[in-house]
Structure 1
Amino acid sequence: MVPLNFPEYKFRLKSSENNVRIFDSIRKKFVVLQPEEWVRQHVVNYLLEEKSYPKSLVNVEKQLVINNIKKRYDIVVFNSDGSIHILVECKAPQINIDQTTFDQIARYNLELKADYLMVTNGLDHFYCKMDFTSEKYTFLRDIPDFSR
């Protein structure tokens, strides 16, 4: 897998059934190591190790329904009250982040109402703070660290 624009992390990998799998500490299982999964696992580690979010507040790849269509989000970080603090959209490194990617996460966020958005392909990261009152978002240098 290609090196990403994240700190270096130690991952548990194993080969089985003619493919490599990576251990997902949130889902507590090995998953097939695809380029997007490589990015997702780096983001999970970034949130846990660099930003100090508790594992209990992080969720990976769950289904949601938007306009009667089933979708899956990549990563969410919850607030302690159960509302969504951060919504993360991961793309494979070879996928350019463009307006279509932002439109996708914005559609998800109409339903989820996350305070912050992160869009990454592992090489380029974009962070936004939502302002629902004025219906806009502001780009940030990074997402905030966990605070109680």
Structure 2
Amino acid sequence: MPPKTLPAFFLGVELATDQLRASIVDENLELVGVEHVDFDSELPEYQTHGGIFTTPGDAYTTPVEMWIKAFDLLMEKISKSYDPSRIRAIGGAAQHALVWWHASQMPQLQTLDPRLPIHAQIPLAAFTMQNTPVAQDTSAHTHALALEAALGGPDLMAAR
């Protein structure tokens, strides 16, 4: 008689402003467990407040490297508490933010070693912006208003 396989798990990951969260459910969509990484307390070296940097004016950014390290920490927590071999699918959701890769760095993604932390394999130089604007950022608003005015106002801009 073949060995009985354990029920599958499904992993949901959410990148929020202040933390990276994971929910694990089984085949019946029953919650198996949750894990999270709080950016401020678990990655204090980035000196964020609520997961973001605030600067004078309206600029709000987050270090991309912090997100990658948080993912490594989250996977470490999941591996300690759950059997990752049972995870059959992964879904994700995130706040909107710009993460720009240098095209020359893209081939590196094909050679990642699953035994090593991701942050140790992707250099910061892979990203064109190491601190990326996040949803709270309104620093481009003044520029947007100037463009709108140069194009004749919001109606003419929308008509283009």
TM-score, structure 1 normalization? 0.26
More strand per residue: 1 or 2?
Answer: 1
Larger Rg: 2
**TM-score, with normalisation over the residues of structure 2?**
0.24
